[in-house]
């Protein structure tokens, strides 16, 4: 499983995933020209784009990808309507579908957007499983046999509190962060509850510029999982 990071921040999120047979995009929150450059200007080889939710930093180029370049977009009905995507395939939580050599299982997550989703992808070619979730403060499901995880680790609660107390982060903004994004502490709790026996790599994405510590996050997740940890 190859994972390429095109963007991972509030400015735009987009990832390219390939099992050697099928190429997919996970979210499309960058400008179309940036995404095209990241896929070597070969959109004809991208079989689909899985969109987690309707916020612009995840869905910005959905219409251009589908209408101009023929990339099929998959998202929840709530996301399609809120983002006003004119050409997309509506998918539902826990209704599996197939894109090329990937079996994709959407699942519901917790965020301040209509019907946000995470995705579990299994390659029928390699047998590898990728779990992708972002922009959620909590995951109520547990996943077994996952080989790769691409997930949000947005903030450290202690750093966030220090920034609030120091006047660097407004309290109202901190409350929104806590109610809509994954902390490193909650991520650790989630991982402890999962079967990590096949886990090879964890990609930490969507880190806050001011409320996170990339080196500390990497060390903590590496120590917990024993897997390779890449900070996006």
pLDDT tens readout for residues 24-63: 999 999 999 999 999 999 999 999 999 999 999 999 999 9
Q: Among candidates 188, 129, 182, 137, which has minimal Cα distance to 3?
A: 129
CA atoms of 184 and 39, how far apart (whole Å) = 30
Q: Which residues of 158-178 are buried (b: 16+ CB within 10 A; e: fewer)?
A: ebbeebbeeeebeeeebeebe
Taking only the tens place, the pLDDT of each residue in 135-177 is 999 999 999 999 999 999 999 999 999 999 999 999 999 999 9
Quick one: pLDDT band at residue 22, thresholds 50, 70, 90?
very high
What range defines the domain where residue 224 resides?
A: 2-231
CA atoms of 225 and 230, how far apart (whole Å) = 13
State what percent of residues in the chain have pLDDT above 90: 98
- Contact between residue 178 and residue 137 where contact means Cβ atoms under 8 Å apart: yes
CA atoms of 91 and 102, how far apart (whole Å) = 15
Around 63, how many Cα atoms within 13 Å sit in the side-chain half-sphere? 10
The per-residue pLDDT for 78 is 97
Mean pLDDT confidence for 198-216:
97
The per-residue pLDDT for 9 is 87
The per-residue pLDDT for 200 is 98
Pairing assessment for the beta strands 148-152 and 201-205 based on DSSP bridges = parallel
Q: What is the CATH number of the domain that holds 119?
A: 3.60.15.10
The per-residue pLDDT for 71 is 97
The per-residue pLDDT for 116 is 98
Q: Backbone dihedral region of 140: left (phi > 0), alpha (psi from -120 to 50 degrees) or beta?
A: alpha
The per-residue pLDDT for 10 is 86
Q: What is the mean pLDDT of the chain?
A: 97
pLDDT for residue 110 is more than 90: yes
What pTM did the predictor assign?
A: 0.96
Mean pLDDT confidence for 9-21:
95
Task: Tell me how many domains the chain contains.
Answer: 1
- Contact between residue 36 and residue 59 where contact means Cβ atoms under 8 Å apart: no
DSSP SS3 for 188? helix
Taking only the tens place, the pLDDT of each residue in 166-204 is 999 999 999 999 999 999 999 999 999 999 999 999 999
């Amino acid at each position: 499983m190859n994972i390429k990071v095109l963007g991972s921040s509030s400015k735009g999120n987009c990832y390219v995933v390939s099992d050697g047979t099928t190429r997919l995009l996970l979210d499309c929150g960058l400008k179309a020209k940036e995404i095209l450059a990241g896929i070597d200007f070969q959109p004809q080889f991208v079989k689909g784009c899985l969109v987690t939710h309707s916020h612009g930093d995840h869905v910005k180029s959905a219409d251009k990808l589908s209408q101009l370049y023929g990339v099929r977009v998959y998202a929840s009905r709530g996301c399609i309507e809120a983002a006003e995507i004119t050409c997309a395939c509506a998918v539902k939580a826990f209704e599996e579908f197939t894109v090329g050599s990937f079996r994709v299982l959407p699942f519901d997550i917790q965020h301040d957007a209509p019907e946000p989703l995470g995705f579990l992808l299994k390659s029928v070619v390699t047998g590898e499983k990728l779990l992708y979730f972002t922009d959620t403060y909590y995951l109520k499901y547990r996943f077994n046999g996952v080989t790769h995880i691409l997930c949000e680790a947005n903030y450290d609660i202690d750093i966030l509190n220090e920034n609030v107390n120091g006047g660097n982060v407004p309290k109202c903004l901190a409350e929104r962060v806590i109610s809509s994004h994954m902390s490193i502490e909650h991520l650790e709790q989630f991982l402890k509850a999962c079967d990590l026996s096949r886990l090879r790599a964890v990609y930490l994405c969507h880190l806050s510029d001011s409320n996170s510590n990339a080196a500390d996050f990497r060390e903590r997740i590496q120590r917990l999982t024993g897997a390779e940890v890449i900070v996006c």
